[in-house]
């Protein structure tokens, strides 16, 4: 399992109203004062946003749009080789711009007619229950910043590329969107923190880092794989296990490295029958039973 906060640089608001994003020393932008100031500016827009207000509009720079263009261009052929056909069909239907960073309300306008989902802005980490509760209402919290331009094909944390190219294309599929919504609705039934963590870890090994067999080839459908240039080159070489809920909800793993163990569905029907039914029916008691028979690795 992992702690969700490890994924994001902490964001704090000072007494004077200023907002700071605290990058780790190993972050590509740690020593770049201009990048740090830009991250603070973008985070401040989300911090000051309240539900019911228009989504913050970010005036993306030429450099930021160029990062989006590079990543879109480089991911496209990898998607054709590695993405499951359900993801590819959803990507074709969504038609995200590839020449510039889209605004979140623009993403919502594209995706709502397809599956009813919308996007709202987040400065960084969103508390686990808040994040999943929003998923249950078909609302996705998304960051708005971009990775450091020195490494356009790498990010140590989720940025708008991960949240829109990865999850947005995924959520444009009615079947993947329904699975994600079901995970969010499950969170509303769970009272224990252990149950919430188990749910989040099953989500991690499915909607974030899920793989699936298709016509004899191992394809990716998880947003974490399909938004990562490097992960798409590596996932098929990892230890591939069949879907196993006790293991998926209890295995130890390191989010800072390529995932060494992945869980493969035989097809989309099996994904819905195993993971989907779990999301639809899980309770604290049923998760406690699964945790009791799990075999952490």
Residues in binding site = 162, 167, 208
112-121 contacts, C-beta under 8 A, 24 or more apart? 114/90, 114/172, 114/174, 115/171, 115/172, 115/173, 115/174, 115/177, 116/177, 117/171, 117/177, 119/55, 119/163, 119/164, 119/168, 120/49, 120/51, 120/55, 121/45, 121/46, 121/49, 121/55, 121/56
79 an active-site residue?
A: no
Catalytic residue among 27, 64, 167, 228: 167
269-274 contacts, C-beta under 8 A, 24 or more apart? 270/243, 271/179, 271/206, 271/210, 271/212, 271/243, 272/175, 272/179, 274/243, 274/245
Catalytic residue among 163, 181, 208, 272: 208
First-to-last alpha carbon distance for the chain, in angstroms, is 10
142 an active-site residue?
A: no
Binding-site annotation: residue ranges for Fe cation: 162, 167, 208
Catalytic residue among 148, 162, 206, 231: 162
208 an active-site residue?
A: yes
Q: Catalytic residue numbers?
A: 162, 167, 208, 227
């Amino acid at each position: 399992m992992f702690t969700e906060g490890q994924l994001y640089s902490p964001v704090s608001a000072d007494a004077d109203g200023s907002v700071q994003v605290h990058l780790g020393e190993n972050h590509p932008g740690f020593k770049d004062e201009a990048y740090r100031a830009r991250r603070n500016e973008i985070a401040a827009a989300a911090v000051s946003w309240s539900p019911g207000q228009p989504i913050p509009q970010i005036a993306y720079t030429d450099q930021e749009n160029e990062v989006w263009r590079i990543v879109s261009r480089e991911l496209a052929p990898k998607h054709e080789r590695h993405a499951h056909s359900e993801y590819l069909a959803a990507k074709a239907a969504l038609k995200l711009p590839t020449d510039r960073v889209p605004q979140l309300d623009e993403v919502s306008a594209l995706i709502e007619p397809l599956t009813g989902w919308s996007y709202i802005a987040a400065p960084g980490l969103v508390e686990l229950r808040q994040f999943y509760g929003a998923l249950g209402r078909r609302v996705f919290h998304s960051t708005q910043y971009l990775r450091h331009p020195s490494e356009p094909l790498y990010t140590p944390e989720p940025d708008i590329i991960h949240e829109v190219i990865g999850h947005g294309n995924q959520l444009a599929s009615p079947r993947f969107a329904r699975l994600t919504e079901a995970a969010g609705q499950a969170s509303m039934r769970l009272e224990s923190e252990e149950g919430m963590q188990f749910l989040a870890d099953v989500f991690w090994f499915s909607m974030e880092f899920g793989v699936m067999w298709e016509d004899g080839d191992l394809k990716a459908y998880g947003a974490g794989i399909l938004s990562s240039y490097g992960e798409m080159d590596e996932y098929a070489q990892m230890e591939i296990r069949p879907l196993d809920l006790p293991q998926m909800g209890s295995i130890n793993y390191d989010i800072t490295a390529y995932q060494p163990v992945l869980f493969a569905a035989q097809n989309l029907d099996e994904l819905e029958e195993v993971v989907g039914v779990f999301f639809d029916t899980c309770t604290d008691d049923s998760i406690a039973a699964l945790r009791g028979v799990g075999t952490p690795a």
